[in-house]
């Protein structure tokens, strides 16, 4: 078995037994990146010299007697997380020349755990997109079919793990941007409860929806990675001071008596082949002792229009700081201050970002605030309330992650509404601030599909446990894209 095919725990054991060093492991992944990233375009920046230096430090720490599941393990960060001394572009021309002066909390915690950063992953510009086609650096290609998208906005992070360029990666999820690319790329991705992971140093898109999470091949690997980044951070006013359990320690708990609810609204218009995969996943959970039923969330179909009022409104506010004055892209030879603002923003932002800024500005305007933004917030509370009522009946909710497998690059980029509907099954969890996970559950037309589990607040351990037991009974998560095994 080659090193890139091993789990985080297997790699940690190999490092502990001195079968290889972190420097050797890091070189192995850097060589894969050098050979494979050209076709995938999964990474914006490769930090080879820094990675080898961090790996050498990890080897010295281990030689001194330090232990840890991530000590010396390579990873890739989504390029939305500030990394001290390294370009943090957010996939945009606006920040193409921005070198962060500090580490995001997620980055700092993984660094403290001894993880080795290989580089920064490509992403939809400012995390706005469902296909990773809006990046200033070009689209990311799906390892399962290079003519297909990997999903977005964390498509680079997902494609990197799917292609075995790193054992795990970080991502962010505002409306499904971890779970959707995880499903389309055939890996595991978890979005924690809103407030579980610090947003400090994570460039904001929609502040009440954004949440950091992780990609990995399996729930077992995701549990190790999530445990390292979760926890209260006083620098983030939305961070929640709730103890973080040992996710890895509870993975093997039995599922006997676990109540899983199939969301009726998810299954009504489901494409038959996708529906068959979800039904098969339910059969596996039942064989493991879980009890299943059907649950209705009547307002859930309103989640997409609600999201596309709330998220653009928040992005309109957050992105106002990029004006060509303080940092980021600045137009050449501005005639006056107005010209500086207009051309810097006009040239620095891509089409999708401009579309959402304009939409958000419109719904926040004096004549339309009550009709759109305020009403959307009321519907958001209604959706959250229905989720809360559902969790009085069941422990977890289940459904598909995406309506279809990965689609062709360019197939939907000129039809924003159709593109937005790719997140139809994922947005509800963000509006309600709930944890959710996607795991591979089969294939349609040779492309991977995902099953999604949603839990009540701070139930990440239960979600990881359920998916881990499912993955012990299936092998979908062990399938590698042809040419990347």
**b or e along 284-322 (b: 16 or more beta carbons within 10 Å of the residue's beta carbon)?**
bbeebebebeebebebbbbbbebbbbbbbbbbbbbbeeb
φ, ψ at 83 (rounded to 5°): -130, 115
Q: What is the dihedral of CA 130, 131, 136, 142, to 10 degrees?
A: 150
Q: What does DSSP assign to residue 407?
A: P
List the one residue out of 477, 471, 428, 454 whose CA is nearest residue 192: 454
For residue 272, what are its two tokens? 């038959």
List the one residue out of 193, 62, 81, 83 whose CA is nearest residue 460: 193
Q: Which residues are catalytic?
A: 78, 153, 177
List the one residue out of 106, 373, 319 whose CA is nearest residue 204: 319
Radius of gyration of the chain (CA): 21
Cis peptide before 365 (omega within 30 of 0): no
Distance CA 186, CA 100 (A): 32
Exposure on the CB side of residue 202, measured as CA atoms within 13 A: 31
SS3 431: helix
Instruction: Tell me the torsion sign for CA atoms 156, 162, 167, 172.
Output: positive
Exposure on the CB side of residue 325, measured as CA atoms within 13 A: 10
Distance CA 346, CA 373 (A): 25
Distance CA 449, CA 443 (A): 6
For residue 41, what are its two tokens? 């375009």
């Amino acid at each position: 078995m080659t090193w890139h095919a091993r789990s985080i725990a297997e790699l940690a054991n190999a490092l502990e037994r001195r079968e290889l060093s972190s420097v050797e492991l890091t070189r192995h992944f850097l060589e894969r990146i050098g050979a494979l990233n050209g076709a995938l375009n999964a990474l914006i920046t490769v930090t080879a010299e820094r990675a080898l230096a961090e790996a050498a430090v990890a080897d010295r720490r281990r030689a001194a007697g330090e232990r840890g599941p991530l000590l010396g393990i390579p990873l890739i960060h989504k390029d939305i997380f500030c990394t001290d001394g390294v370009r943090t572009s957010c996939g945009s021309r606006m920040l193409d020349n921005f070198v962060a002066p500090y580490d995001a909390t997620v980055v700092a915690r993984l660094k403290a755990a001894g993880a080795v950063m290989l580089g920064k992953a490509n992403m939809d510009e400012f995390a706005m997109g469902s296909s990773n086609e809006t990046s200033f650096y070009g689209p990311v290609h799906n390892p399962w079919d290079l003519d297909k998208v990997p999903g977005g906005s964390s498509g680079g992070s997902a494609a990197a793990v799917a292609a075995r360029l790193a054992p795990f990666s970080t991502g962010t999820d505002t409306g499904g941007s971890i779970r959707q690319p995880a499903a389309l790329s055939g890996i595991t991705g978890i979005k924690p409860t809103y407030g579980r992971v610090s947003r400090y140093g994570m460039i904001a898109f929609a502040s009440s929806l954004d949440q950091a999470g992780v990609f990995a091949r399996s729930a077992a690997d995701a549990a190790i990675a999530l445990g390292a980044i979760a926890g209260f951070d006083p620098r983030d006013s939305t961070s929640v001071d709730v103890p973080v359990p040992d996710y890895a320690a509870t993975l093997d708990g039995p599922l006997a008596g676990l109540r899983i609810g199939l969301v009726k609204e998810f299954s009504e218009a489901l494409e038959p082949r996708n529906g068959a995969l979800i039904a098969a996943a339910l059969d596996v959970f039942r064989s493991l002792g879980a009890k299943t039923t059907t649950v209705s969330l009547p307002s859930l179909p309103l989640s997409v229009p609600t999201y596309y009022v709330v998220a653009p409104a928040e992005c309109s506010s957050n992105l106002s700081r990029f004006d060509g004055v303080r940092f980021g892209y600045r137009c050449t030879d501005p005639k006056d201050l107005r010209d500086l603002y207009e051309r810097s923003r006009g040239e620095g932002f891509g089409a999708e970002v401009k579309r959402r800024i304009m939409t958000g500005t419109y719904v926040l305007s004096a004549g339309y605030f009550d009709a759109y933004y305020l009403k959307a917030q009321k519907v958001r509370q209604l959706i959250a309330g229905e989720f809360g009522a559902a969790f009085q009946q069941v422990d977890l909710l289940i459904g598909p992650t995406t309506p279809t497998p990965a689609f062709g690059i360019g197939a939907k980029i000129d039809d924003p509404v159709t593109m937005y509907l790719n997140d139809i099954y994922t947005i509800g969890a963000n509006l309600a601030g709930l944890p959710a996970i996607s795991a591979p559950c089969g294939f349609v037309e040779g492309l991977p599909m995902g099953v999604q589990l949603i839990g009540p607040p701070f139930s990440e351990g239960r979600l990881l446990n359920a998916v881990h037991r499912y993955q012990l009974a299936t092998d979908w998560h062990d399938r590698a894209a042809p040419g990347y095994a």
